[in-house]
């Protein structure tokens, strides 16, 4: 990572550049169109805390670079009571009615403009913490992140949070704009303090470059035009100069060829091609390839496009590859070069940004879309959740809620092809889909690890129930649990078990009795067997009532089921967390029902 605060450049005004383009349009319109088509595309995202001036900066950038239409400018122009007119630059990008009424950004706003040097796609993201998912969405494809810091307030928690998320999403370049310098009279000392604070906050990040610019978005200082007389002590680039000259071509991975197959084209018996987009690397005629996950090999004999054949293809071209051999390839497969393969496996860790109001359920199976493939996966473990206030990991996370970020271990139901996100953003990122609602509930980035792609145990380790305990509890209105009646008096215990089952059933509970003296079944129900049966029934969502004459057998069952889903009822109540109830008394069932209500095991009526 390198820090940049200064850069020498020849001062070329945007007016002069636009005048040259206008002259070219009048002289050679086709030449202008070809020139515009050849311009490099730069995507950037604006982030920062609330009211740091993100929308104002974009509005000023569009206005001063002549990228605002007349009707947009008229809509943003306001006349005061004194007759003075002024432009509300934030209105150019804040298009939602709620955004304009509240003066904040809620959704991600995309804007497009170009200069004689480059084309740009801007993602204006919200600064409020409750819209973290929106910010992550806008930043996922950016080459540059622009973070705004209020010169009066300095580096805030939200500033650190957005820097962390931008680094997590693999954005290579970071532009730090210390905004509202006009409100501190362009004080260089204050600017230097903020720069040092931010350097400390990003000391452990791995951005390729971090550049600092003092600006006033409202006044247009150091936004587009260089050499502002208000900041004679600053000799670096303006915001637009930085965006036009930052090196982004080297950010494209041209080493690892990856080609997710989207469609098999076979219009007749003589043609078979595999359509897709080159997401990284370079492919040429004659290159040896491997189709993953099958491992079948072949050679590229042609690279077809709508305009004819190519000798080579590079990102982000969409092409059709024809191979020398008739091998089985379908949508979702990944074509790589023979000497540079992606990882094929079923298990990986990923940093997840959770985007749903329904929390991530560690016991539930989800669909993921990785490249062009859809596959079902299990959430094996939430390893940690990031505390976005303190920017530190919380190891004891049971779930991820809306806008949470955490590291999760996934196991897919069949092998998939992928790379670590840091190595390849296209094949290292995926979205998580709730298969019941078909809603995208999360975005994830695969992290590099020593055991990437491996699975422990047998190949069928991931074949288990796709319904979590939490889902069953929501459907039934109560959790699956075990109530163990511990008493040496068989008749009393058995009568109480079936009376409790009847009362629970009347409360809408899915209940069942396991009684070693049940006259309906032949043979003895051993305590060990009762414990295993109770555990399986509880995992299936049933509230199990175990009636056993063996007073010591419940301990192993409680350990297997978990203390939060187990209750032992005895006459003495000497066991840990036991409910002391006179099992022979007339009110025993009522006492047990009351205790279960306190534990939240009964549906609300």
List the CATH number of the domain containing 125.
3.40.50.300
Verify that 401 and 506 share a domain, yes or no.
no
Residue of 605 and 492 predicted with greater confidence: 492
The per-residue pLDDT for 138 is 77
- The structure tokens 């980035």 sit at 445
Q: How far apart are CA 346 and CA 207, in angstroms?
A: 30
Q: Is residue 105 part of a domain?
A: no
Contact 440, 370 (CB under 8 A): no
Contact 487, 583 (CB under 8 A): yes
The per-residue pLDDT for 8 is 41
Q: Is residue 90 part of a domain?
A: no
Q: How far apart are CA 490 and CA 496, in angstroms?
A: 10
Q: Where are the beta strands (DSSP E) in 389-438?
A: 392-394, 405-418, 429-434
Report the domain count for the chain.
4
Contact 452, 420 (CB under 8 A): yes
Contact 401, 359 (CB under 8 A): yes
Residues in the chain: 605
The per-residue pLDDT for 145 is 93
**Tens of pLDDT, residues 26-39:** 888 887 777 777 78
Verify that 459 and 550 share a domain, yes or no.
no
Q: What tokens appear for 573 in the block? A: 């109540």
User: Which one of 447, 466, 485 terminates a domain?
Assistant: 466
**Tens of pLDDT, residues 371-419:** 999 999 999 889 999 887 777 888 878 889 988 899 999 999 999 999 9
Q: Whole-prediction pTM value?
A: 0.74
Indicate whether 97 pLDDT > 60: no
CA angle 293, 299, 304 (to 5 degrees): 100
Give 495's pLDDT tier (boundaries 50, 70, 90). Answer: confident
Verify that 419 and 509 share a domain, yes or no.
no
CATH number at residue 392: 2.40.30.10
Bond into 293 cis (ω within 30)? yes
Contact 58, 155 (CB under 8 A): no
**Tens of pLDDT, residues 245-298:** 999 988 889 999 999 999 999 999 889 999 999 999 999 999 999 999 999 999
Verify that 481 and 450 share a domain, yes or no.
no
Verify that 322 and 363 share a domain, yes or no.
no
Q: Is residue 242 part of a domain?
A: yes
Q: Is residue 63 part of a domain?
A: no
Contact 402, 128 (CB under 8 A): no
Q: How far apart are CA 553 and CA 409, in angstroms?
A: 35
Verify that 23 and 171 share a domain, yes or no.
yes
- The structure tokens 């978990």 sit at 562
User: Which one of 305, 337, 369 terminates a domain?
Assistant: 337
Verify that 394 and 533 share a domain, yes or no.
no
Q: Is residue 433 part of a domain?
A: yes
Contact 238, 213 (CB under 8 A): yes
Verify that 359 and 450 share a domain, yes or no.
yes
Indicate whether 539 pLDDT > 90: no
Sign of the alpha-carbon torsion through 471, 133, 141, 168: negative
Name the residue range of residue 483's domain.
477-598
User: Which one of 198, 219, 249 terminates a domain?
Assistant: 249
* Mean pLDDT computed over every residue of the chain: 83
Verify that 328 and 234 share a domain, yes or no.
no
Q: Is residue 482 part of a domain?
A: yes
Expressed in angstroms, the distance from the first to the final Cα of the chain is: 60
The per-residue pLDDT for 106 is 47
Q: Is residue 26 part of a domain?
A: yes
The per-residue pLDDT for 203 is 86
Q: Is residue 77 part of a domain?
A: no
Around Cβ 180, how many Cβ atoms within 10 Å?
23
The per-residue pLDDT for 96 is 40
Verify that 310 and 379 share a domain, yes or no.
no
Verify that 302 and 449 share a domain, yes or no.
no
Radius of gyration of the chain (CA): 32
Verify that 567 and 492 share a domain, yes or no.
yes
């Amino acid at each position: 990572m390198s820090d940049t605060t200064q850069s020498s450049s020849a001062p070329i005004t945007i007016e002069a550049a636009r005048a040259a383009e206008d002259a070219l349009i009048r002289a050679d319109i086709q030449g202008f169109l070809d020139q515009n088509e050849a311009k490099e595309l730069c995507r950037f995202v604006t982030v920062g805390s609330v009211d740091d001036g993100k929308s104002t900066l974009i509005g000023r950038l569009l206005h001063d670079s002549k990228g605002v239409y007349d009707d947009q400018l008229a809509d943003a122009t306001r006349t005061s009571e004194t007759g003075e007119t002024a432009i509300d630059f934030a209105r150019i990008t804040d298009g939602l009615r709620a955004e304009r009424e509240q003066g904040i950004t809620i959704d991600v706003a995309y804007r497009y403009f170009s200069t004689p040097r480059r084309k740009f796609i801007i993602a204006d993201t919200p600064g409020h913490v409750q819209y973290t998912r929106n910010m992550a969405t806008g930043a996922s494809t950016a080459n540059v992140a622009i973070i705004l810091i209020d010169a009066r307030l300095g580096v805030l928690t939200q500033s650190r949070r957005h820097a962390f998320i931008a680094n997590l999403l693999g954005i290579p370049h970071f532009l730090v704009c210390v905004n509202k310098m006009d409100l501190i009279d362009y004080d260089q000392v204050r600017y230097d303090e903020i720069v040092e604070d931010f350097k400390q906050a990003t000391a452990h990040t791995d951005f390729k470059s971090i550049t600092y610019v003092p600006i006033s978005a409202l006044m247009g200082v150091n936004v587009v035009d260089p050499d502002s007389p208000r900041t004679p002590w600053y000799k670096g680039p303006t915001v637009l100069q930085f965006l036009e000259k930052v090196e982004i071509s080297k950010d494209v991975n041209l080493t690892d060829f990856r080609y997710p197959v989207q469609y098999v084209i076979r219009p007749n018996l003589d043609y078979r091609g595999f359509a897709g987009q080159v997401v990284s690397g370079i492919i040429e005629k004659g290159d040896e390839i491997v189709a993953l996950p099958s491992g079948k090999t072949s050679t590229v004999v042609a690279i077809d496009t709508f305009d004819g054949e190519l000798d080579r293809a590079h990102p982000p071209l969409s092409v059709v590859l024809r191979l020398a051999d008739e091998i089985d390839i379908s949508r979702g497969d990944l074509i790589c070069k023979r000497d540079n393969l992606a990882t094929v496996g079923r298990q990986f860790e990923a940093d997840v940004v959770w985007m749903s109001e329904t929390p991530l359920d560690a016991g539930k199976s989800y669909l993921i879309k990785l490249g062009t493939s859809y596959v079902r996966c299990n959430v094996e473990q939430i390893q940690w959740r990031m505390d976005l206030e303190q920017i530190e990991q919380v190891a004891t996370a049971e779930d991820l809620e809306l806008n949470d970020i955490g590291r999760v271990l996934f196991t897919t139901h069949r092998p998939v092809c992928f790379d670590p996100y840091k190595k390849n953003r296209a094949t290292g990122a995926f979205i998580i889909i709730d298969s019941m609602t078909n809603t995208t509930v999360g975005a994830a980035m695969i992290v590099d690890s020593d055991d990437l792609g491996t699975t422990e145990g047998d190949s069928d380790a991931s074949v288990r129930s796709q319904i979590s305990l939490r889902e069953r509890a929501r459907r039934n209105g109560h959790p699956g649990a075990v109530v163990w009646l511990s008493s040496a008096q068989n008749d009393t215990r058995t009568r109480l078990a079936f009376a409790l089952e009847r009362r629970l059933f009347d409360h809408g509970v899915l209940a069942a009795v396991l009684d070693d003296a049940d006259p309906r079944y032949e043979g003895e129900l051993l305590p060990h067997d009762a414990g295993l049966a109770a555990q399986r029934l509880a995992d299936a969502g049933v509230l199990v009532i175990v009636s056993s004459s063996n007073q010591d057998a419940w301990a192993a069952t409680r350990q297997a089921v978990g203390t939060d889903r187990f209750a032992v009822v005895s006459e003495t109540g000497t066991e840990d967390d036991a409910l002391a109830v006179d099992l022979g008394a007339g009110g025993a069932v009522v006492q047990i029902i009351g205790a279960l209500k306190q534990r939240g095991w009964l549906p609300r009526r």
